[in-house]
Structure 1
Amino acid sequence: MQSNDARTLLQCAVPTALTGVVAVVAGFVLAGGKGGIGATVGVALTGAVMASGLVILQRTARNLPHLFQAMGLLLYMTQMLLVAVFLMVFKDTTLFDTKVFAFTLLAATLVWIGAQARAYMKAKILYVETSRETEKTTPAGSPS
């Protein structure tokens, strides 16, 4: 993983984790132990799905840049499908409070997306190859 990729992942994971801490405390206060567990499951699901998606998208951008946009759309659909399957499997669970889980999942997802947008806007990633960089990569004596 390149340093800017790791930085983006960190800039998304930290605010989401802080949101998760707040949600777990609020879940314990408002709904007891099951609320805290629901918040923990919600933030863990969000973190796992969004982090894996970011890593996959970064690898695709590096290795197969021509598939980047299509992979982004496919990845988004896959993430929604994974969350939907999780929701269907645990819709009638008594292991955790489903309302706290749902609100935590929503809050953590919104925070992750906002942090990811902010990280990309602040990143100074060159997307144009300058002539100096081209000269460095062209062997001496060969025509440009």
Structure 2
Amino acid sequence: MQSNDARTLLSCAAPTAVAGVVAVAVSAVVAGGKGALGASFGALLGAAVMATGLIVLERTAKYLPQLFQMMGLVLYMTQFLLVAVLLAVFRDTTLFSTKAFGLALLAAVLVWIAAQARAHMKAKILYVQPEAEDERKPEGAKKSAPAGSTS
């Protein structure tokens, strides 16, 4: 993992963790222990899905750059479907508060996306690798005479 990739991952994970702690605290006050459990599970699940997606996308960019854009679209659709399936699976559970779970999951995903957008906007990634002046001229090339002059 490159240093800018690790920085992006950290700058997304930190605000998501803060949002998860806030969601757990609010859910504990509003819905008790089951609310806190549901919120913690939802926040962890949201962060895990988004972190996995970011890591997969970064590896795709490194090894298969020609598939980067398509992989991003497929990845976001897969993340959406995975979260939808998990919401459907845990819809009728009595282990934890499903409302706290869903709201914490939504908050974690939205905070992650906002933090990822901010991290990419602040990243200073060169799109073109600048060349040195001497690398541009082929070896053995002579300076050409100005146009219109005869030698």
Relative to the length of structure 1, the TM-score reads: 0.91
What is the CA-CA distance between 1:132 and the residue it aligns to? 2.2
Is there any run of 5+ residues in structure 2 with no aligned partner, and where? Answer: 142-151
Task: Write out aligned runs for 1:1-144 (5 A).
Answer: 1-132=1-132, 135=135
2:149 aligns with none
Cα deviation digits, residues 57-85 of structure 1 (max 9, x gap): 01111111110010001001110111111
Task: Give 1:51's aligned amino acid.
Answer: A
The structure whose Rg is larger is 2
What is the CA-CA distance between 1:105 and the residue it aligns to? 1.0
Percent identity reads: 66
CA distance in 2, matches of 1:5, 1:97: 35
CA distance in 1, matches of 2:132, 2:47: 40
CA distance in 2, matches of 1:133, 1:61: 29
Cα deviation digits, residues 62-115 of structure 1 (max 9, x gap): 111110010001001110111111112111000110111111111111110000
Deviates more, 1:43-52 or 1:123-132: 123-132
Task: Give 1:92's aligned amino acid.
Answer: D
When the two structures are aligned, how many residues end up with a matched partner? 140
Indicate the SS of the match to 2:61: helix
Q: Structure 1 segments of 4 or more deviating over 2 A?
A: 132-136, 140-143
Task: Give 1:14's aligned amino acid.
Answer: A
* Higher helix proportion (structure 1 or 2): 1
Indicate the SS of the match to 2:132: helix
Deviates more, 1:30-39 or 1:123-132: 123-132
CA distance in 1, matches of 2:128, 2:83: 37
Indicate the SS of the match to 1:125: coil
Indicate the SS of the match to 1:131: coil
Cα distance change, pair 33–2 in 1 and its aligned pair in 2 (3 A): same
Task: Give 1:57's aligned amino acid.
Answer: L
What is the CA-CA distance between 1:32 and the residue it aligns to? 0.2
What is the CA-CA distance between 1:135 and the residue it aligns to? 3.2
CA distance in 2, matches of 1:23, 1:61: 33
